[in-house]
Structure formats: structure tokens, C-alpha cells
């Protein structure tokens, strides 16, 4: 895992699988987070999600006991090719994160940046 420091909030590179919900999806959809900050993330999945779509998911952070519950909005989407597979990368901004969940994010990111 590396650290991406060119933004207001440092992002750490991750590879964390998640299941998320949208307003239109009755069942969870699979994806993974490829980087994470206290205010947003990059989400990779095999399909495009339109900008302004609201997502809700729990993320189990390594070495943190409880998952963080997050609501986010898709800001952008672009196609990418990784390991010979076609995916879509999405920029997320967190729209609602509780105090305890924000503390979990902060603890994980701080711990990851210290290595």
C-alpha cells in the first residue's frame, strides 16, 4: 500500500472488496476500493455507475475491529484496463459518515501512512 499525497486529504492505496447498494439496486453489487481517504475513495467495478448516484456500503478496514458505514456520491466514472480486464473506476465523495466511522477511517489511514 502506498500513500497518495497530492490531495487535500491523503489517500492510501488499498484493495478492499465491498458490497454496495444504490437507490435502484435491491441487491448488493460487488466492487472494490482501490484508494481511500477520510473524505472519499476510488471504487473499481465491472460496470459504469452514473455521476450523482448515491451509494451506501460498509467497509471492513484491515486491523480495525468494526466496519465503517459510508454513504457516498459518485463524482465521475472512467474506463480502465487492469490485469487484462476492463473495469470502470469511479471517484466517490463521502456524503455521510458517522463520527465513529470517521474515527475508524482516520485510524486506518494514519496507521497505514506510518508504514
Tens of pLDDT along the chain (115 residues) come to 444 445 577 889 999 999 999 988 889 999 999 999 999 999 999 999 999 999 999 999 999 999 999 999 999 999 999 889 999 999 999 999 999 999 999 999 998 887 6
Topology of domain 3-113, CATH: Thrombin, subunit H (2.40.10)
* DSSP annotation string for 20-70: EEESS-SS-EEEEEEEE-SSEEEEEESS---TT-EEEEEE--TT-SSPEEE
SS3 84: coil
Indicate the domain borders of the chain: 3-113
Amino acid at each position: 500500500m502506498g500513500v497518495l499525497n497530492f490531495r487535500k486529504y491523503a489517500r492510501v492505496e488499498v484493495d478492499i472488496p465491498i458490497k454496495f447498494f444504490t437507490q435502484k439496486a435491491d441487491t448488493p453489487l460487488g466492487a472494490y476500493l482501490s484508494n481511500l481517504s477520510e473524505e472519499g475513495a476510488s471504487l473499481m467495478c465491472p460496470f459504469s455507475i452514473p455521476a450523482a448516484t448515491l451509494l451506501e456500503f460498509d467497509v471492513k478496514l484491515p486491523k480495525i475491529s468494526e466496519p465503517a458505514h459510508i454513504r457516498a456520491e459518485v463524482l465521475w466514472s472512467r474506463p480502465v484496463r487492469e490485469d487484462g480486464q476492463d473495469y470502470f473506476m469511479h471517484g466517490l465523495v463521502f456524503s455521510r459518515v458517522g463520527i465513529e466511522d470517521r474515527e475508524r477511517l482516520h485510524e486506518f489511514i494514519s496507521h497505514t501512512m506510518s508504514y
